[in-house]
Amino acid sequence: MRTAPTILHLDMDAFFAQAEQASKPSLRGKAVVVGGLGPRGVVATASYEARVFGVHSAMPMAQARRLAPNAAYLVPRFGFYRAISEQVMQLLRELSPLVEPLSLDEAFVDLEAGGAAWDEASARLAGAELRAGIRAVTGLTGSVGLAASKMLAKIASERAKPDGLVLIEPGTERDLLGPLSVRTLPGVGPATGDHLRRAGIHTVDELAEAGEDELVRLLGKAHGHALHAMALAHDERPVVAEREAKSVSVEDTYDIDIHDRLRVGLEVQRLADRCVRRLRGSGLSGRTIVLKVRRYDFSTLTRSETLRGPTDDPAVVREAAARLLDSVDTTGGVRLLGVGVSGLADYTQEDLFAQAAGAGAESPAEERVDEPAQVQAAGPAERHWSAGHDVRHAEHGHGWVQGSGVGRVTVRFETPGSEPGRVRTFRVDDPALQPADPLPLVRRRPADPAGTPAAVGGETGGRG
């Protein structure tokens, strides 16, 4: 393990919720919960204001509503989050060629590989400048952990939340880790944690004292050996530069099981078009089409078909997905559908294998807003207004959907740079109201090198 704290872990603070608060002036400083809003929805992210009430990610949305009934509940806007994430990842790539994204809002960086840091002082400066750069470019905050290993850098960033920086000095790792729960270590999930608890092992110190032989007996050779090493603060895992995507896929979970076979087919076609748009947006094509169906009894079926060459033709993908659906029994209802493309390439061979009738035909017009991960099971002709998504009115301008129902949609008209806006209600089929693209966030003044944002108060750096 290296002797300088040159591994950096960045974790954006309550990323989805923070992005929504920055985009919507009326929600700043208020409880915001982002996730699926249907009966089966779960929380993707909760703002720190919502966490005060006990709301957290992966919680059933119904439970979150009971805990925080007055919070704003919004459907995710993944395209908006991806755009912000790419700005953040670009800042990381400017620090080092070794950037390992873990998700849209989290990544490891090897500062030593890029020459950005070589000792404690230079690492702390690089972390502070990164936080300032993120605030300057996006207006959002992120927490930074610095340590001599990936495991410790991630622990440090968790301790830095929200909006802080924590550096673990080499030589202090064992003292820091000892009293922590075994669940702190990578690879210790609920099942392994329960197994260790039944063996009387609760803390990292107790894990180290148990010895490697006992851990191998309890957990198997690979897992036992790895956990014993981590309990001793030994983590040699390198930062691995981002790999190319192996597949592109989209899926939807439905509030009400779909029983109508025709409706299932239409949903698969819609998902195929969405998948192709994402494929083309990445400049890719693929040769294996995958269909995923989760039925009413939670059984999940996966079917695939490999074409003679890669494609990004929507008609080809739609027809392949339809053929795959023909082999699936949907009697009893469907609760989730997904379409994916794997075997990716950066070219196509459409002339060699155009298989669909009318190959090359244009796909349906692209939605101008991201479709939510959960959608209402309603007829294809109905207009859906998802809470939190962007709209534009011919008279009132840009706004976002606060809610809809009983043939009405409520919109708050405001922009990232405006004061909190007024609320108006319209018919769901009002022709003057149309979906809109998200507006870019208003940039704020950068933080000083010590990490204190110029636009707000001093360093918070505490747990949150």
From the list 442, 417, 450, the residue with the least C-alpha distance to 132 is: 450
The answer for residues whose C-beta is within 8 angstroms of residue 247's C-beta and 6 or more apart is: 286, 290, 340, 341, 342, 344
> For 31, how many CA atoms within 13 A lie in the half-sphere containing its CB?
17
Residues 6+ apart with CB under 8 A from 134: 12, 88, 91, 140, 141, 142
209 is catalytic: no
The DSSP-derived string for 17-69 is HHHHHHH-GGGTTS-EEEE--STT-BEEEE-HHHHTTT--TTSBHHHHHHH-T
With contact defined as beta carbons under 8 Å apart, do 167 and 451 qualify? no
> Which residue's structure tokens are 């999930």?
189
Residue 139, number of CB atoms within 10 A of its CB = 21
Give the separation between CA 35 and CA 129, rounded to whole angstroms.
32
Distance (Å, whole) CA 450 – CA 194: 41
In the set 20, 100, 106, 112, the catalytic residue is 106
Residue 18 makes CB contacts below 8 A (sequence gap 6+) with 12, 47, 140, 141
For residue 102, the SS3 value is strand
Among 9, 38, 33, which residue's Cα sits nearest to residue 388? Answer: 33
Q: Which residues are catalytic?
A: 106
